[in-house]
Amino acid sequence: MSGVAAAPAQLDQRRAVEGRALPGSSYRRREPERSILYETVRAHWKALLAAVAQSTDGGSFPRFVIAEFERFLSCGILANGFARVHCDACGKDLLVAFSCKGRGFCPSCTTRRMQGTAIHLVDRVIPRVPVRQWVLSLPRWARFLLARDPALITRTLDICLREIFNSHRRRARSAGARAARPGAITFVQRFGGALNLNCHA
């Protein structure tokens, strides 16, 4: 196989090595331009920018917000660039559109990053020990402070994890384990379910 590595190409390569092909496994481009989200953003993005500029006397969104939307509109669109992938096993050529690799709201890129991170953590990082999930949620006034100050997020997480670890160590000692070593993997989320600002961990 030659070309740029991509998920469907890697899958075809794995099947070729195994000497078999699964039925109904041909690659199909995801066609983001057919999604409701893409159509909505494409249809109203320029109008939204103009409305914000008019209402704020020439102002606009922060640069990182504009860049995120612009990258999203180019994600998965063949006209904006692609890689040609050739499979030596079946002789087929595939065109794989470039992705935006955004960290904002692109469903494809964020889902791919989430799945890849989860697989990496489960297979290579987290040992075979009991785990549990904690969610640190803060009052609304504190969310705005954390959203504007990354150093404050770090200090807040440090305090929270220190207390959780101390609690686990006390419980471990009471159960007879004197060398407990708790650990944590933290992800900072900045939005709630309605895309509202909700900085939590």
- Is residue 70's pLDDT more than 70? yes
Residue in the structure block whose two tokens are 């969610």:
135
What tokens does 75 get?
């994600």
pLDDT of res. 25:
52
pLDDT of res. 14:
39
Report pLDDT digits (tens) over 127-184. Answer: 888 888 999 998 988 988 988 898 999 999 999 999 999 999 999 999 998 888 899 9
Cβ neighbours of 1 (radius 10 Å): 15
What tokens does 115 get?
């799945």
Per-chain mean pLDDT for the chain? 83
Q: What percent of the chain has pLDDT over 90?
A: 39
Report pLDDT digits (tens) over 97-127. Answer: 999 888 777 888 888 888 999 999 999 998 8
Residue 191: which of 156, 147, 149 has the closest Cα?
Answer: 147
Query: Which residues share a beta bridge with 200?
Result: 189
